[in-house]
Structure 1
């Protein structure tokens, strides 16, 4: 049985489109899994709570992008998550470097490190914010320490 060249071309095109669609779907689902995870959500909440970091970015609006799946910094296993989240505001952008561990007793993620590194080279530790940020947060909530 002979197969014509046009049939082979159609099969190649169909296979390419089907494979590309499958890869695109897998990429989308993987990114959705990251953005819905507690370790991702906790890091972004910590960023949004730091007025110095938000002001440095020019946020709001804060734009959060997909993590780069090929970046070697990103490493996730059942007990530990380390990710680098690209973020931008109206002034500048940078990366939010995070590290979280899963508490074996509660099975919940605990944010251990969250550091914003801006394009200009400025670094802001979000877990242990600078004294000015801590003072600003205290005055906004009414806590005087």
Structure 2
């Protein structure tokens, strides 16, 4: 028969190993449902030049969690969303603000940065569709 402390260690290890990926998944799911994330993707889907550069179908990848390219606080959000298509891959650079907590987010800028360095402005303030 096994020592009870070994059994506890085994169960704890299994629990921890399963909890990490679950937390990562939940964080990714939460970020992908935010207003500023969804608005940026809507702008991309409505931009013919960007869609042509990437090709169809588009694939949105998970955000690297420890990247310095992401910043979200109460009134500002900046993301670098990895995205790819059959023709190219790159990042959707987004910047959004809001005037106070619990107010609606407003897109400030969305730029598609392709792997070859080409930058396609997808949205800038003053454009229709905000």
TM-score for the superposition, normalised by structure 2: 0.87
Whether 2:99 is the aligned partner of 1:103: answer yes
Q: Which runs of 4+ in 1 moved over 3 A?
A: 4-9, 103-106
**1:31 is aligned to 2:21:** no
User: What is the RMSD of the two structures over their aligned residues, measured on CA atoms?
Assistant: 2.0
Task: Specify whether residues 105 and 40 from structure 1 end up closer, same or farther in structure 2 by C-alpha distance, changes over 3 A only.
Answer: closer
SS at match of 1:112: strand
**Higher-helix-fraction structure:** 1
Give the Cα separation in 1 of the matches to 2:102 and 2:2. Answer: 61
User: Can you give the 5+ residue segments of structure 2 that lack an aligned partner in the other structure?
Assistant: none
2:112 to 109, 116, 119: 116
CA distance in 2, matches of 1:78, 1:105: 6
Q: Which residue of 1 aligns with 2:123?
A: 127
User: 2:74, 2:101 within 8 Å by CA — same for their partners in 1?
Assistant: no
Alignment of structure 1 residues 1-145 onto 2, 5 Å: 6-59=3-56, 61-104=57-100, 107-128=103-124
For the structure 1 residues 11 and 32, does the alpha-carbon distance in structure 2 shift closer, same or farther, using more than 3 Å as the test?
same
- Alignment deviations for residues 67-93 of structure 1 (CA, whole Å, 9 cap, x no partner): 111001101111111111000111111
Count of residues in correspondence between the two structures = 125
Decide which moves more: 49-58 or 15-24. 15-24
